[in-house]
Structure 1
Amino acid sequence: MIRRITIALAALAAAFAVPACAQRLDETPRTVVMTAFYPEWHSLVPTIRDAKEHTINGSTFLTGTLEGKPVVLLQSGVSVVNAAMSTQIVLDRFNVKRIVFSGIAGGVDPSLSIGDVVVAENWGQYLEGSFARKTKRGWMPPDQGHPESPANWNFIFPRGTLITSAAAKMQRVYRIPVDADLLALARKVVPTIALERCVQPSDKMRPGSALCLPRTPKVVVGGTGVTAGIYADNAAFRIYLQRAWKARVLDMESAAVMQVAMSNSVPAIVFRSLSDLAGGDQHKNMEYTFEHLASANSAHVVRAFVAALPD
């Protein structure tokens, strides 16, 4: 009798140990509109029509329409692991046509200012690298590097990102290109979009105390964006990223989203509005002052872009 019970319990445990297959929650072909954290999410939630909530692993995925186009809106959480995990979840659970990311970022290109929106043409992971040992001959990384590798910063030597996909064998890349057709559409649609210049008064601000930027922000398309799981606020490292990577903007999610999209052969593009200058701010990092303004500006551009997408 004891033996039978033991066998039954073992069979039950084995049954529960089998991972559940991801089940599609919605079969409508949709554009994923992706954000990282709450200001970006809240800038878009009110614009979703016929919204329906889906909860996966405690996260909310909102289906509906944006500018008349079927979408699923999600908040990935900050940093590369959360971004990659959320991207794969939405690809597994929904019928995804493309990914459009809307968010804030730190400015690296000195020609850009807070509030500007950048649509980079490619994304790299700047801390996917080797920490070299110090020798009498200088820094010695464990490998010989690659012709396409950006220059090192002291002991940090970029190594690129290994990517696999159904369409190609494993390859090492330093910059992941956004989808060419989506980028071409962005070049046509977004450069003339009007952006916000002032932070509107909140409960913490006295009436009439709106904070305005010295000039109206602009939208720029092209160049490189870079990503790492680091909150970067260092003037010297900012200069390095601009010189070695030719970076215009940095953040904590975009390259991870692009990597997962590339591995799944799904078109993707990223829109980022500058909330700060990643160490180039004059007195202190300005993200907490301008994150809502930057989130709104990115959302403005993304809404116009989604409206222009083909049916």
Structure 2
Amino acid sequence: MSRVLLAGFGGLGAGQDHQRTMYLPAFQAHPGFTVAGVAGDASLAASLGVPCYPGLAEALAECDAEVVSVSAPHAERAESVTAALRAGRHVLADKPLALTAAEAESIAAAALEAGTVCMPAHHQRFAPAIRSAKAAVAGGRVGLPWNIQADFLVAGGDPCPLGELTNFGVYPLDIVQALTGQPVRRVHARSGRGITILLLDHDHGLTSTISVGRIQETAGVRPGGLVLHRYRISGSNGVMNVDAAKPAATVRTSKDVRAHWSGPGTVALMLTELHAAISGGRRAEVGPQDALAAVRVVEAAQRSLATGRPVHLPQEGRM
């Protein structure tokens, strides 16, 4: 089993704590990991029965964990991820890995130098429907893809102070990259009513349209829950419709409405890939370069929204 250090308990929003709500339960449930320490939260460490360290520096010096789960606030995230990598640890980092391309490039360079696994938590690409679609596209089931239409919409919940493009955009951008492998060369963004629409031109004539954002509360969807996560892949030989929210059962109680997967959820499947990469001494399926590709598109979209014009991306990078 790989020993895990939990470092950082913040996110983009004031009340966001993916470390407690997502990663800790997934690590506890996974047979390949065990939590060995906590940096900076004595009460959580006591509840888990593991050592608590005043900060990340002390934890890296004293804790023998091979993996650091970083969910620090973004003012500290890049520094925390880089410190863990330079200490020779594998890293799972909350999304978005970085808010700027410069930060993402720095983390990617540190990961390359360290030779350890650095996995941004792009867990949505591990959804069973996405994995099946990726295999089908690679197998030529729709021929040569020429267009992808994607929707990633959340209903209700607390708005992200930095905007939902920054908050959620990484997921559909990462999945379009995983499905096609084609870099984005031009970005034209439009926004209205809480939704940003990205009109993207890729290499080899591929285009994609991504709608991402937060809409008003919707009946049957818990606040902050996904209301739409789907892809329509058009190719030279056919069209594939992918609903990434399936297979799952909707469970309604007096307090909540939630989707329960018929098998492992996306975070559990992501941890399985992380464990396989660590034990196999190989690169993980998703890494810092994927986060860098996504943040480059987000930055270009923000410039496009500010100017009302398309923005061309340089040739370097994978997206």
When normalised by structure 2's length, the TM-score is: 0.30
The structure whose residues are more often helix, as a share, is: 2
TM-score (norm 1): 0.31
Q: Bigger relative contact order, structure 1 or 2, given CA contacts below 8 A and separation 6+?
A: 1
- Who wins on radius of gyration, i.e. which is larger? 1
